[in-house]
Amino acid sequence: MLRRTTLLLALSLFGPPLVAAQSAPAPTCSLNAQITDEDGGAITRAFVLIHSDYGTKFNQQVNLDPSGKFKIALRRGLYSLFVSSPGFVPVAEIVDFRSCKPLNLNLMLTIDPDHPETDEH
């Protein structure tokens, strides 16, 4: 009887945190983006970094597909998006996912006048 009482007491003390730990995962938001040049051509070789210090502590580099696109799921919050590619002026955007609505971005990079031109994107 003592063993059963101890087990019930242990379950009542440690039960709620175990139940809370099994709650539903945080919702994710969908970011779809394409990196293009001024003429609308796809840039496939770019460094893309998504960063957040606004509660989510997130830092990730993403890869582009052959059409210059990427897709990533993020938690609610504010993110900084940095894009750079050789021969182009880097771009920084703030991405607001506090409402968690899907977001489609087209980030256009302009040619850097101080950098030798390159035909490779």
Supply 17's token pair: 């945190």
HSE (CB half, 13 Å, CA atoms) of 79? 26
User: What Å distances lie between residue 88 and 24, 39, 40, CA to CA?
Assistant: 42, 13, 14
Q: Specify if 46 maps to a domain.
A: yes
**Total count of domains within the chain:** 1
User: What Å distances lie between residue 108 and 44, 45, 101, CA to CA?
Assistant: 12, 13, 22
Q: Specify if 68 maps to a domain.
A: yes
Quote the pTM value.
Answer: 0.70
Q: Specify if 10 maps to a domain.
A: no
What pairing do the DSSP bridges indicate for beta strands 47-52 and 58-62? antiparallel
Q: Specify if 86 maps to a domain.
A: yes
CATH number of the domain residue 34 falls in? 2.60.40.10
Q: Specify if 13 maps to a domain.
A: no
* DSSP secondary structure letter of residue 57: -
Residue-wise pLDDT tens digits, 83-117: 999 999 999 999 888 888 889 999 999 999 987 66
Q: Specify if 118 maps to a domain.
A: no
Q: With cut-offs at 50, 70 and 90, classify the pLDDT of residue 12.
A: very low
Q: Specify if 6 maps to a domain.
A: no
* Per-residue pLDDT at 62 exceeds 70: yes
Average pLDDT score, the chain: 79
What domain range is 99 assigned to? 28-108
* DSSP secondary structure letter of residue 76: S
Name the least confident of 8-12, 19-23, 56-60: 8-12
